Amino acid sequence: MPADDRLIVALDVPNLLDGGNIVDQLGDSVSFYKIGLGMLTGGGFALANELKQRGKRVFLDMKLFDIGATVEKAVAGIAEYDLDFLTVHGDPHVVRAAIAGRGDHATRILAVTILTSLDRDDLDACLIQSGDIQTLVVERARNAFIAGADGVIASPQEAALIRALPEAAGKLIVTPGVRPAGAALGDQKRVATPAQAIKDGADHIVIGRPIWQATDPRKAALAVVAELATV
């Protein structure tokens, strides 16, 4: 069965050697990888480049946030790598700067709405306005789209609400927090199965530990690919 671009495997390992080993084990079963801050000092950019040369797609999860001028410069530098997805926080000034920095490159800018690890108490501590998290997430997604974001990161629970926004037409929704039936949840709390996340409007799902920590990662990836084929 060929790989399915809708599956993005998160390489949450500290360095490019460990990441490369997982990629080798997964072989042609996976075509899209996410590299994040955890590998930044362990050769993350080098692995991202290598994966592109091997014909894979790459999602660089940097979650950038700064003054506009700095975000624009950072994104302009990263866009030179011609990676596929890059994350920034969904504040409109950050998104606008990222889109300007991306220029003519094909890198899609994805906005983080509210980190799924935060609850209402955390938002209170950050002085973020009252209201339930889901409402704020949908409002932040709308504002990010208006600011020009190519897509958003959202939990599967929020995917359907965001997909229903008129501003979401033609935009990408990428959901972490996805667990095949029976897989360990780890620290993920609001989860859905791969098929359910896609049915709820996600274009891509991000799965990490249930694949790279599996005894047989390739078998685990192929099971997700088979599930996605049913949607």
> Whole-number minimum distance, CB 176 to ligand C5P, in Å?
3
Catalytic residue among 34, 56, 63, 199: 63
- Which residue's CB is nearer to ligand C5P, number 100 or number 180? 180
Cα–Cα dist 165/152, whole Å: 12
> Whole-number minimum distance, CB 104 to ligand C5P, in Å?
28
State which residue has the least CB distance to ligand C5P: 208
Residues of this chain that interact with ligand C5P (CB under 6 A) are 10, 12, 36, 115-116, 153, 176-177, 186, 188, 206-209
DSSP helix, strand, coil percent of the chain (3-state; round to 5): 45, 15, 35
Residue 63 annotated to the active site:
yes
- Which residue's CB is nearer to ligand C5P, number 40 or number 69? 40
- Which residue's CB is nearer to ligand C5P, number 188 or number 196? 188
Element spanning 115, H or E: none
Element spanning 62, H or E: strand 57-64
> Whole-number minimum distance, CB 167 to ligand C5P, in Å?
20
- Which residue's CB is nearer to ligand C5P, number 52 or number 209? 209
Cα-flanking dihedrals φ and ψ of residue 14, to 5°?
A: -75, -20
Q: What is the CA radius of gyration of the chain?
A: 17
Instruction: Report the candidate in 181, 178, 130, 179 with the shortest Cα–Cα distance to residue 158.
Output: 178
Q: Catalytic positions, please?
A: 63
